[in-house]
Structure 1
Amino acid sequence: MKKYRHEYKYISPEYILQMQQTRLASVMELDGNTGDAGCYAIRSIYFDDMYNTCFSENENGTDPREKFRIRIYNCSKSRISLELKQKVNGMCLKTSCPVPLETLEQIMAGSVPDFSAETPYLLKKLICQMNFRMLRPVEIVAYERVPFIYRDGNVRVTFDRNLRSSSNIQDFFDENAPFRSVFPDGTNMMEVKFDELLPDFINEVCQCGQLQWSSFSKYYVCRKFDLHGIRSVFPGA
């Protein structure tokens, strides 16, 4: 059964994140999906309507709220996932299902795909909202992630670097596509996620006076820069 999770985001100078990453490596395990590189690349297509409702709900702190995204890893077509991220009472719930490449290609081309009885419920929900709410793919969000895990309490601490975005949805799989950088130089993110309990020793390692807590999602900060050309939510901007 899926659980609602705590999720905290911190914006920080890179030299602080390097220190935090070294400290966490001594008490947490590097996620095995990173392989020899020690990290993996994430790209997500986010959806919004003509009124930018998802963007506005994040800006206004609306609770509950939800948003859809389609995610790939290392620009590969082998694993394509649709994710619905919901926030209720400050807690996050993520549900997901696979997306056929043909369906994604239809979406990227500006079409609304059909569905059948075999289509996963979550994908049906997206398609219905594309029909009735006019949801459309509006932003690609990309970054590189170094993830650490601690199995007790399902704790996950990630370091996300080189956050960048593009509104050209056709570039989703293109490794060499141009993207705009979103953070000021030398600024990146750390995220802390857990179920009921964050062990004290991990909490202590994560404490640092120069980490700045952020309530905004990556989609929000990328879309804000795309819509307004400003980076006012970031330190030093």
Structure 2
Amino acid sequence: MESKVFDPSLMENRFRHEFKYLSTLGQLKTIQVRLTGLIPLDPHVGPDGIYNIRSLYFDDYEDRYLKENEAGVDPREKFRIRIYNHSDSRISLELKRKVREKTQKLSCPITKEQCEMLMRGEIPDIGKDAPPVLQKLCLLMRTRLLRPKVIVEYDRVPYIYPQGNVRITLDENIRSSSRVELFLEDQIPTRPILPAGQHILEVKYDEYLPDFIYRAVQLQGLHRTAFSKYYLCRRYHL
């Protein structure tokens, strides 16, 4: 697959609606057929219409982010490092926040050297002009002992629509790894974290979801979930 790198800064800084549904492969394929030709794929996908996402998630010495997700605490946040298609040409540090049932993503690029230090639980030497997201992570690594906990990886088919800033994503083969030191390697050992044939549909938009898209993603048997991929992967390894 041709390596294309998605720039997460294009889709950040705003609070958005975000809904997640547990789906069978058949349900995802039905929705994919409905959306094809209706709204475009994200232009960053490869020739097969997908890209791979791998994220390294952090938590503190009390597993605060894990427990807050389980309890449905609002507001809450979590930090992750993300790469696309196993490429280290663009490495993003992201802070994802949930406030009043809406989500916000803030991100900044980091260097490979900074990423490798963070993977080891080491705090990079940064100046006062460093991006706020990186400054906050470093502060919490000192005060709350944030450390990398788990890798989450999956294959995504993403559809976008500009009106309403809609993003429909079909995430297959969700898997995890506790080998955080291998985050930047091309191939890493992983294990599936959902029952066979189960995947996740995500529906994201700003203020409104156009009716024709809403109708396209309506299916019997979809089960909305409040748990994040991070939570599911962490629970699998506990």
Amino acid at match of 1:90: E
Q: 150, 153, 156: which one pairs with 2:164?
A: 153
Q: What one-letter code is carried by the residue in structure 1 that aligns with 2:16?
A: R
CA contact (8 A) 1:114 1:127 kept: no
Structure 2 residue 70 is matched with structure 1 residue 59: yes
Please report how far the alpha carbon of residue 69 of structure 1 lies from its aligned counterpart in structure 2 after TM superposition: 0.5
Q: CA RMSD in A?
A: 1.1
Question: Which residue pairs with 2:200 in the alignment?
Answer: 189
TM-score, normalised by the number of residues in structure 1: 0.93
Asked if the contact 1:42/1:142 (under 8 Å) is kept, the reply is: yes
Counterpart residue type for residue 173 of structure 2: N
The answer to whether the aligner puts 1:168 opposite 2:179 as a matched pair is yes
| 2:54 aligned partner | 43
Provide structure 2 residue ranges, at least 5 long, that are not aligned to the other structure: 1-11
TM-score, length basis structure 2: 0.93
Does residue 1:33 correspond to 2:37, yes or no?
Answer: no
Q: Please state whether the residue corresponding to 1:33 is helix, strand or coil.
A: coil
For this pair of structures, how many residues does the alignment match?
Answer: 227
Give the residue type in structure 2 aligned to 1:170: E
Equivalent residue, structure 2, for 1:217: 228
Q: What is the CA deviation profile of residues 184-222 of structure 1, one whole-angstrom value per residue up to 9, with x for unaligned ones?
A: 111111100000000011001111111110011000000
CA distance in 2, matches of 1:20, 1:8: 15
Rounded Cα–Cα distance in structure 2 between residues aligned with 1:163 and 1:2: 26
1:37 offset after TM fit, Å? 2.5
Give the equivalent residue in structure 2 for 1:234: none
Deviation at 1:80, TM superposition (A): 0.3
Counterpart for residue 9 of structure 2: none
- The 8 Å contact of residues 158 and 191 in structure 1, kept in 2 or not, is answered as yes
Distance 1:84 1:176 in 2: 25
Equivalent pair of 1:156/1:194 in contact (CA under 8 Å): yes
Cα drift, residue 109 of structure 1: 2.2
Question: What is the aligned partner in structure 2 of residue 13 from structure 1?
Answer: 24
Name the residue aligned to 1:235: none
Contact 1:41–1:144 (CA<8 Å) still a contact in 2? yes
1:231 aligned partner: none
2:160 & 2:33 partners in 1: Cα distance?
14
Extract structure 1 runs of 4+ deviating beyond 3 A. Answer: none
Measure the CA separation in 2 of the matches of 1:180 and 1:171.
14
- Cα displacement (A) at 1:176: 2.2
Greater CA deviation, 164-173 or 135-144?
164-173
> Which whole-Å CA distance do the structure 2 matches of 1:112 and 1:48 have between them?
14
Query: Which residue of the partner structure matches residue 123 of structure 2?
Result: 112
CA distance in 2, matches of 1:27, 1:65: 35
% same residue: 49
In the alignment, residue 106 of structure 2 is paired with which amino acid?
T
Tell me whether 1:122 sits opposite 2:128 in the alignment.
no
- Which of 85, 93, 98 does residue 87 from structure 1 map onto? 98
Structure 1 position 83, deviation (Å): 0.6
Deviations 1:84-123 (A, max 9, x none): 0000100001110001111111111231222113321110
The letter of the residue matching 1:157 is: I
